[in-house]
Each structure stands twice: as structure tokens, then as C-alpha cells.
Amino acid sequence: MNRATLNWTFTVGFVALTAGILLARANPATAYEASIYTGTPTATWVGFAIAMAIAVSAALTCHGRQQAIGLGLGAATVTSIVSLPAIRNYYFNGMGDALSHLGWTRDITSGQMNAHELFYPGLHSLGAAFHFLGGVPIERALLFGIVVLFVPFLVFVPLVVRDLSGNALAVGIAGVVSWMVLPINNIATHMGVHTNSNALFLVPVVLFALVAYLRRRATIERLPFGLSPFSVLLYTSAIALLLVHPQQMVNVVVLVAAVAGVQYFAHRRYDEHPMLEHPTMYTPTFVLGSIFGIWAVSNARFREAVEGFVTGIFSDDVGADAEIDQQGSSLTEIGGSLAELFVTMFLDAALIGLIVGFFVLLTWIGRTRLDGESRALVTYFGFALVPLGVMFALYFVGTMNMAFRQMGFIYVVLTILAGVAIAHAVGGLSGLISTPGANAVAAVVLGVCLVLGLMTVFASPVIYSPGQHVTEEKYNGYETGMEHGAGDTPYVGLGYDPFRFDHGINGLDGDDALTGGTAESGEVDGDEFNEGNYTGAYNDVDYYLMVSEFDETREFGVYQELRYSEAALSGVQYSPHADKVVSNDEFRMYAVSSDD
């Protein structure tokens, strides 16, 4: 394709992307959306699809400036998809940890606490900055914050691969794989205000600094205290990661320590090897470990998390087996299966993992075409996956949620290695058919994986998890109910504990910030509730039943009345023991009195 035709093709791609964004912006969400995919206009997805098709083709077939433009087009499109909650004017997005993070940000902006008092204040500080400098509501400021933290992932994955291999095809493939957003699994990592997940997107920045420190030679060889420009880059990027979430900093320390371990054995075994030319990672391992240790040991929240993890490992009722069995049984009851869910959520990740694993093994036995320098760097990352995998196994025994957070970090590393691995596979295939044919096969396979990855970036009913869109009406309903609740009467949800909304509305700075009813909040008992025993559905005490459109969509539309029946909820309004005290289009609150 000549340059003029290519330029016109890129123009079509950027125009399609711009049109998609404008159409999405012109069609804001007016009510709760269980799926942002179906809520967004079809024309927007057509525009995004055109842009992505051009971007994938350019990433795989172009070089130099044209490839960079293609990568930029693809990254801009994926960023637009991630930004849809902000583009389509969502009031807020996220109902679990996200609401607690909203509460902490509210505490910071109101002066109730200082940012440094938080264990990981990165996202909250960014949201506060948007709030004060841009004059936007805190809820919207945090939606902007997650986009800002996401962009480095798309930028630095190709940059790491460029330093790692120097192969243009590998750089392009790495860009495409990064667009799949494999670190997000919607089990323990989420695309939203979730600092553990948001931190994952900064990890490539640290890995870029690591590879630059190992491979590049600084013009200024030494700074004070034996530092170099690249070691300073490594430390500062790691500190930024620590401030967003310390768990990912732990993983970085483990990875750097694994590199140091490989170097130690290389120095003992070889007289000549590319690893011997690299600066040793002993000092960076010590410095990064010390930074994390000083930050973490003094924090009570960290100590409690460690205690919970250790307890989980030795507890009979905590672990993966029971949770998987329970989830599988529930899926079967509503017409789904774990196999179906695996294909939807993890087929692309599994395929990428298998390719990378096979490639790393071939690298270790010397059956790849990598030069010595690149082979050494791939070996570093490959061996780092061993302790990271052991940590995943320990988490899996202790608490499955933490295991899938660990998987998120592992897939950041796999995303980087995938660029090199798939490029070598395409190179081998081109020897069997032809280079255009091999590129076409790669484009089709990567395109299918890209669709699977992007269709599960956000939660939606397709993965049996309705979107956590928080509308203004819903937020105001909870706010009104909690503001005017009587004394310590508990707030009770339909399959959802309302205490998180207390965090988002009132903040978390001290126990006094929370309403009295939150201390005894919880979920109604499904068996009692379905039998119409509303007074006995929650410990035989007076309580407020809070029901939102999200609850009804999840329980009746997605879970198909697995836990609560629609008839039972409809019967609440006719019960002599229940009075509707707050109501709008998205939310209802009933005051339920006990028989006493």
C-alpha cells in the first residue's frame, strides 16, 4: 500500500473513531444500564470496529512512523472504550470497593483527612486534583482518574517490547495484545475505580524502567549515592506504583528479585554471557524492598491483610474449591456453565498464556532466533513467572479473590512476552506459507481474541455480572434514606449490603463518619423473604429494606430468581409491616417493622 493510500486509510480510521465518540457523547445514559455495551449506540461500535480493524492491520504490516500511527489509533480506540462511562455521562461506576474509594476521596477533598494518611492515596489524590482544578464532581473526577492511569499500559507495553527485542512485528503484536486488556478478569480485577486493578496499568512503566536500566547505558553514568538516570527512573516509577496500590509493588519486588537471582547463577556458571554485561539487580532489589517495607510495616491495614491471608491458607472453609463448586452449581441452575463462562472470559487469556509458555521453554533450550541480549531479557521475565506463579498458588489456597488479583499482574508480564512470542510464531508460519499469509492468519486470530477481550472489559450480563452503573437517582435514593433513617435501624439490601454506599456518601474518616444503621447492615435472608416473612427476613428486628434497579436486574434478570423471587419483592408493598419511605425511578426504601 503506498503512502498516500495509507494516509487516507488512517484518516478514515480516525474519523470513524471521532464519530463513534461523538455519537456516544450525544447519547448519554438516562437510566441504569445493565450493560454498557448494549446501552452504547450501535453506530458507535461500528465506528470503533472500523478504527480497530485499520489499527490492527497497520500494527502488523507497517513499520516506523506508519506503525506508530496505527498503534496510536488502536490505543485511542481502546482508551475511548474504557472511557465510555465518562463519555456517556455516568454519574458513577462501581458498587463495591469503588464506593469506599469515593468515600476516601471525599474525605480528602473535604479536609477530613490528608492524602498521606491513606495506605495507597494515588488514585484518590488524582481524583481530588481533577475535582479542584477542573471543577468537576468527585464522582466524575474519579472516572477521569482511572482513564489517566490506564493509558500508560497501552503506551509502555509496546515500548518495553521494543527495548526487549527490537523487532517491529513484535512491537505491533504487543500493541494489539495490550488492547485485549488481559489483566482485567472481572473476578478480582475490574475496569473501574478499583486501585488494585488501576495499579496494574502502571506496571509496564516500571518494567520499561527495568529493561532500560538493564540494557541501556546512561550518558551520565553516575549520580550522587551511586545512582544512574535509569535507576532513578526505576525507583520513582515503582514509588508511583506503590502509591496506587502496594500489592502490585510487592509483585514488582518479587520480579526484580527473580532477575537478581538469575544474574547470581549466571555469574557463577558462565565466564561469558550477555547477563554478565548487565548491571546487577542486587541493590535495586534491596532498595525497592526497603521502600515497600518502610511503607507497609507501619500500616495497620497491611498487617490485617497479611493476617487474613495466613489465616485463609490454614482455614478449612476458605479457599478456591468450595467457591468454584458453589459458583458452578449456581450457573447450572440459571442455564449457564463454568465451561461457557471460561470461553467467554478466559479463552483469549488461555491462548496467550499457552503461546508464551511454549515460547519461553523454547528460549530456555535455545530453539528460538533471539539474539543473546533478547534471550537474556526473556529469560529474566520467564523465571520471574515462577515465584509469581507460586504466589498465585498460595493465594488460590488462601483466598481466590487475591489469586485472581495476582493473575492480573502475571498477565501484564504475559502481555509483554506475547509480543515477542507471537512474532516468532508468525515468522515461523511465514516460512511455511508466505509473509502476507502469515500476517493474515495472525490478524484473524488476534482479532478474535481482541473482540473477546474487549467484550469483557466491563461487567455485563454476558458474564452473569450486570454492570455496576450508579445513576444519580440511585445515589440520591441511598443518600436520602441514610440521611433520614431513624437511629440505629439497620439498612438491609436485596443481595447487596448497603454499607458501601454509606462510605461513598459520608466518607470513612473514623467511625463517627458512618451512620448508625450501617453498623448492623446486611442482606435479607432469601428463604424467609421468599416465604413472605418480611419481618423475620433480617434477625427479627426493625430494618430498612433498600432496593435499586441494579438489584432487580441482577436478581431477576440475570440470576433468574435464584436467590429472591420477584413475587416476594412485589409483596413487600402490600405487607402491613412495611411502608415505602423513599422512592424514585431507580430506588425504593421500605421501613419494615418486626412483630414486636
Q: Of 561, 428, 367, nearest to 570 (Cα)? A: 561
Angle ∠(123,81,74) on CA atoms, nearest 5 = 105
State residue 86's pLDDT score: 97
- For 482, the domain range is 471-592
Q: Which three cell numbers stand for residue 165?
A: 527485542
Query: In the chain, what is the straight-line distance between the N-terminal and C-terminal CA atoms, in Å?
Result: 81
Q: Which three cell numbers stand for residue 401?
A: 479473590
Q: Clarify whether residues 432 and 480 are in a common domain.
A: no
State residue 329's pLDDT score: 58
Q: Clarify whether residues 402 and 524 are in a common domain.
A: no
Q: Clarify whether residues 390 and 475 are in a common domain.
A: no
State residue 301's pLDDT score: 64
Q: Which three cell numbers stand for residue 330?
A: 449456581
C-beta of residue 331 within 8 angstroms of C-beta of residue 337: yes
**What is the rounded CA–CA span in Å between residue 488 and residue 519?**
8
State residue 487's pLDDT score: 77
Q: Clarify whether residues 8 and 91 are in a common domain.
A: yes
State residue 378's pLDDT score: 96
Domain-ending residue, one of 413, 438, 463: 463
pTM of the model: 0.94
Q: What is the DSSP letter of 516?
A: G
Q: Clarify whether residues 359 and 490 are in a common domain.
A: no
What stretch of H or E contains 6?
helix 3-26
**What string of pLDDT tens digits covers the 596 residues of the chain?**
678 889 999 999 999 999 999 999 999 999 999 999 999 999 999 999 999 999 999 999 999 999 999 999 999 999 999 999 999 999 999 988 999 999 999 999 999 888 888 889 999 999 999 999 999 999 999 999 999 999 999 999 999 999 999 899 999 999 999 999 999 999 999 999 999 999 999 999 999 999 999 987 655 556 666 677 888 999 999 999 999 999 999 999 999 999 999 999 999 998 888 999 999 999 999 999 999 998 887 766 666 666 655 665 555 444 455 455 455 556 677 777 788 888 899 999 999 999 999 999 999 998 888 999 999 999 999 999 999 999 999 888 877 888 999 999 999 999 999 999 999 999 999 888 888 899 999 999 999 999 999 999 999 999 999 999 999 999 999 999 998 888 788 999 999 999 999 999 988 875 554 565 677 789 999 999 999 999 999 988 999 999 999 999 999 999 999 999 999 999 999 999 999 999 999 999 999 998 65
C-beta of residue 70 within 8 angstroms of C-beta of residue 76: no
Q: What's the sign of the alpha-carbon dihedral 394, 398, 399, 400?
A: positive
Domain-ending residue, one of 463, 490, 520: 463
Q: What's the sign of the alpha-carbon dihedral 181, 187, 188, 190?
A: positive
Q: Clarify whether residues 393 and 425 are in a common domain.
A: yes
Q: Clarify whether residues 443 and 546 are in a common domain.
A: no
| Nearest-10 crossing angle of helices 229-244, 282-297 | 30
Domain-ending residue, one of 442, 463, 484: 463
Q: Clarify whether residues 170 and 312 are in a common domain.
A: yes
Q: Clarify whether residues 205 and 295 are in a common domain.
A: yes
State residue 446's pLDDT score: 96
Q: Clarify whether residues 80 and 52 are in a common domain.
A: yes
Location of C-alpha cell 515460547: 359
What stretch of H or E contains 78?
helix 64-82
C-beta of residue 285 within 8 angstroms of C-beta of residue 257: yes
Structural domains counted in the chain: 2
Location of C-alpha cell 535507576: 231
Q: Clarify whether residues 141 and 64 are in a common domain.
A: yes
Q: Residue 216: helix, strand or coil by DSSP?
A: coil
Q: Clarify whether residues 57 and 39 are in a common domain.
A: yes
Q: Which three cell numbers stand for residue 374?
A: 533478547
